[in-house]
Amino acid sequence: GAGVSQSPRYKVAKRGQDVALRCDPISGHVSLFWYQQALGQGPEFLTYFQNEAQLDKSGLPSDRFFAERPEGSVSTLKIQRTQQEDSAVYLCASSLRGGGEQYFGPGTRLTVT
């Protein structure tokens, strides 16, 4: 069956550009998470959606980061005025309900030059 998909898989942005990263979760999964993974590190939580409601955005590093899931399925993570420190792999995960195992997408590798 179809897993979590993310696009683009790779993105190179010049410093100051805006980027939008897309996540298609597994159909019917209520919970959706975004994580940021720096090279050689474990993923770090960014934000969480339950259906279309963003219930936790405590991990977003600055107000340049914005996420939405308007219809409770596809989600977009937007980064405005990208900085070099934003370079990382951005992972999306979904789960059928809160608290259980999460299914991760392949990630989007963002490089800011």
Partner 1 sequence: SQQGEEDPQALSIQEGENATMNCSYKTSINNLQWYRQNSGRGLVHLILIRSNEREKHSGRLRVTLDTSKKSSSLLITASRAADTASYFCATAPGNAGGTSYGKLTFGQGTILTVHP
Q: Which positions lie near partner 1, rule CB under 8 A?
A: 4, 31, 33, 35, 40-45, 48, 50, 55-56, 91, 93, 95, 98-107
Q: Cβ 15 to partner 1, closest distance in Å? A: 26
Q: Measured from the CB atom, is 17 or 22 closer to partner 1?
A: 22
Q: Are 88 and 107 a contacting pair, CB within 8 Å?
A: no
Question: Shortest distance, CB of residue 35 to partner 1, whole angstroms?
Answer: 8
Instruction: Kindly report the backbone phi and psi dihedral angles of residue 85, in degrees, each rounded to the nearest multiple of 5, phi listed first.
Output: -70, -10
Per the CB < 8 A criterion, the answer to whether 43 and 37 are in contact is: yes
Which segments of the chain does DSSP mark as H helices, in order? none
Of 19 and 48, the one with the shorter C-beta distance to partner 1 is 48
Instruction: With CA atoms as reference, report the closest residue to 52 among 25, 35, 32, 34.
Output: 32
Kindly tell me which of 66 and 104 has the beta carbon lying closer to partner 1. Answer: 104
Nearer to partner 1, 12 or 55 (CB): 55
